[in-house]
Amino acid sequence: MAVSLSFLLILLLISGSESVKTITKVSVKMGASVSIPCSYDLKYKNHVKYLCEGFYWNYCLHEVRTDSPREKGKYSISDDKTQRIFTVTIKQLTADTYYWCIVEINNGADDGQDFQLSVTKDTPILWVAEQNVTGYIGDKININFNYATSGGIQWCKLGRTCVTQETGEIDGTAVTINKAADNVFSVTMSGLKQEDSGWYYCVKGDFQMPVHLTVTVKPTVVDLRTTTETIKVTESPAATRSTDPGLGEIPNPRSSVDQNIHIITLGLLSLVVLVALLMWFIQRCKNTKEDLTDPKSNKWEIVFTAVSFKLKSTPQSEANEEYVTYSTVVYHNQNI
């Protein structure tokens, strides 16, 4: 009976330690920032999470919480309930500090795990160029780590298994660990799946460095040269007809549309020119009519261009001869 009670107590302790997980020690350069992931059990999905600063649990200071503004000063926090991981980011680091990733428990003691940030003025003991990396489904990704410490190398997924040898796999994805150069080693993950997205961390001696991997669909790259050639082929004379012997020759719809547009444009331009000419002619005729019908206008004068005299004979007497005057009258416009 005593053995059974002891065994149950051990199981309870193990279960409690598995509820919240995070890394233990990270090396960061002074003035830089770092993101730390903290995984939690499914039963804590809807609980409040928070970051606490201090060596002792009972005396640590609550810096940022998920139930209040999630960004406060140099601290920020986010909660991914699908992955069951909450992430804390700390900026402008100045000195070695202890922190706690904690899940709040209603009507009970909170649950959490601590981690240490080791701040250096020079190059960190273990570091990576970028904590957030992106890979594509079916491809592979290489992540290079720089180090200045001894000890074995491991590549782990937070809350899952670790690869401790040169080759291995995590959730069915192949992992290879190689020494790329002096004080540099690389971790390669091949045949990526979308399910591989999440937080990982590298272990070298006493230090860890977390990295977040996002696996997505590879974007399509369009070759502009191929596109240009395709357009040229489509617009060539040969492409404007169908070569199907059952259909005969069918004009390219795009070519017909272009011709119709040209015809419509030409017709509109011709119509505009004709209207303009018609308006000009009407105005010209109107002005001329006003000049002819205006009695007060001095634009016209009578000019006698020819005068002739002719003797008119009468049967009564030759002594009564009369002269008749004939003249030609021409109207002359002074403005012409």
Q: What is the DSSP string of 204-268?
A: ETTEEEEEEEEEEPPPPPP-HHHHHHHHHHHHSGGGGS---TTT-----HHHHHHHHHHHHHHHH
Residue with tokens 């971790």: 187
Question: CB–CB of 321/311 below 8 Å?
Answer: yes
DSSP letter at 152 equals -
Separation CA 153–CA 176 (nearest Å): 11
Which pLDDT score is estimated for 336?
46
Q: pTM (2 decimals)? A: 0.62
Which pLDDT score is estimated for 270?
83
Q: Which residues of the chain have pLDDT under 70?
A: 1-18, 222-258, 288-336
Task: Give residue-wise pLDDT tens across range 122-133.
Answer: 899 999 999 999
Separation CA 316–CA 82 (nearest Å): 141
For residue 332 the two structure tokens come to 């002359």
Question: CB–CB of 78/151 below 8 Å?
Answer: no
Which pLDDT score is estimated for 260?
72
If one counts every other C-beta atom within 10 angstroms of the C-beta of residue 224, the result is: 7
Query: Domains in the chain, please, with CATH?
Result: 17-124 (2.60.40.10), 127-220 (2.60.40.10), 222-244+251-259 (no CATH), 300-333 (no CATH)
Task: Give residue-wise pLDDT tens across range 24-55.
Answer: 999 999 999 999 999 999 999 999 999 999 99
Q: What's phi and psi for 123, nearest 5 deg? A: -65, 135
| Of 58, 128, 51, nearest in space to 97 by CA | 51
